[in-house]
Amino acid sequence: MGTRTVLHQADIERALTRISHEIIESNKGTADLILLGIPTRGAALAQRLAAIIGRIDGQDSLPFGQLDVTMYRDDLAKHPTRATMPTEMPEGGIDGKTVVLVDDVLYSGRTVRAALDALNDHGRPRAVRLAALIDRGHRELPIRADFIGKNLPSASSERIFVRLAEHDGLDEVTIESGGEGTAA
């Protein structure tokens, strides 16, 4: 079993800066734009993206929040129940806004499907986009990211670990070969 680092701190910062510019360009500015991170690391990435986009656009920050999808998952029987995290919507809600869902790793697409279901309980956005730091392939649902930090094709037996300073004390993405497959 081997572990290799595929993104270091500087690589993650460059990827998030590029994604930020792509989001602004795609939205034709930042009007009515909201970022919602999927806990745990997606929420930290959404907060970072909001700060970068705010700096680019000359604001303090962009509205952001987090969207817990735990109870909307269709694979709870396969995976141990996770502790729920609070859902935090930006002031003013999401109705009529462009919402960018942010997650660390896009894999099967099931987390994003759950996020779309959860979003329906909080309002009706004008449009929903998806940003992921890592797209590792292996989709089980017809879902694709609009903004990707790095495409990282991987075997099902490999595990992708995204570590962020907010939770892990450092920024890096590693891939571990061998062992059981995982959803991340």
Over residues 33-57, the pLDDT tens digits come to 999 999 999 999 999 999 999 999 9
Predicted TM-score (pTM) of the model is 0.92
- Cβ atoms of 38 and 111 within 8 Å: the answer is yes
- Cβ atoms of 155 and 177 within 8 Å: the answer is yes
Write the DSSP assignment of 115-177 as a string of letters.
Answer: HHHHHHTT---SEEEEEEEEE----SSS---SEEEEE----TT-EEEEE-HHHHSS-EEEEE-
Q: Where are the beta strands (DSSP E) in 39-97?
A: 64-66
Whole-number pLDDT of residue 178 = 72
Residue 180: pLDDT over 80: no
Over residues 92-109, the pLDDT tens digits come to 999 999 999 999 999 999
Can you give the residue ranges of every domain in the chain? 3-176
Over residues 67-92, the pLDDT tens digits come to 999 888 887 667 666 678 889 999 99
84, burial (CB in 10 Å: exposed 0-12, middle 13-18, buried 19+)? exposed
For domain 3-176, say whether CATH 3.40.50.2020 is its number: yes
Whole-number pLDDT of residue 81 = 63
Strand partners, 123: none
Q: How confident is the model at residue 1 (pLDDT cuts 50, 70, 90)?
A: low
Whole-number pLDDT of residue 53 = 97
Whole-number pLDDT of residue 181 = 41
Whole-number pLDDT of residue 184 = 58
